[in-house]
Chain A
């Protein structure tokens, strides 16, 4: 069975600090996808990034960067120079290729960025 663990339940930082959100996953499949979603207080899950299991290249998008390491089954997310608007709950999710795709989510990490 697949499982996603986000050990950090809540992180508080001051604006302009860098922050890393951790994600560890478990799967038996060799083909799978990893995701990060952002959920602001409004409730809508906003898609941030998708990574497939064959692509371990790290990615940077503006202030966001992702570090995928298959050897440790981790897919960590870093926000550089955090801003108050980054305050939200962030979810890591895993999707296996099993005939139909369902996302298995972690419990989320609440990020609070104060001015």
Chain B
């Protein structure tokens, strides 16, 4: 196990609702990245946080937003949920110096009905 934890493990929401997913990074890691993995696909980069600020963003709309806290934990918020948001959401942590090597948590499976 990597030491990266995520909650909840599973979640069911309806279209139009909002959701918050949480991630605790591995001890000593100060950078957190979020990925969305649709069924049968590879993970896609949503954004990365370092020092409580967004450090980079993939091709996702603004209704995907995030936060990082002083203890380096992070949240992913998704507003106005759409059916296509159903996916496995993965959080990964790394050190800033070696941010290319990312260690993943178990993920949160989100189903939007």
The one of B43, B48, B103 in contact with A47, judged by C-beta atoms closer than 8 angstroms, is B103
Binding site for A on B (CB under 8 A): 1-2, 33, 35, 40-45, 48, 50, 55-56, 58, 88, 90, 92, 94, 99-107, 109
Binding site for B on A (CB under 8 A): 4, 33, 35, 37, 42-47, 50, 91, 93, 95, 97, 99-108
Q: Are A44 and B45 in contact (CB under 8 A)?
A: no
Q: Are A101 and B99 in contact (CB under 8 A)?
A: yes
Q: How far is the CA of A4 from the CA of B41 in the complex (A)?
A: 12
| Given A102-B58, A103-B45, also A50-B101 (CB < 8 A) | yes
| Given A45-B43, A91-B42, also A102-B48 (CB < 8 A) | yes
Contacts of A95 in B (CB 8 A): 100
Contacts of A42 in B (CB 8 A): 106
Contacts of A103 in B (CB 8 A): 33, 35, 43, 45, 92, 100, 102
Q: Are B56 and A43 in contact (CB under 8 A)?
A: no
Q: How far is the CA of A10 from the CA of B2 in the complex (A)?
A: 27
Q: How far is the CA of A101 from the CA of B1 in the complex (A)?
A: 22
User: Within the complex, what minimum Cβ distance (angstroms) separates B88 from chain A?
Assistant: 6
Q: Are B55 and A43 in contact (CB under 8 A)?
A: no
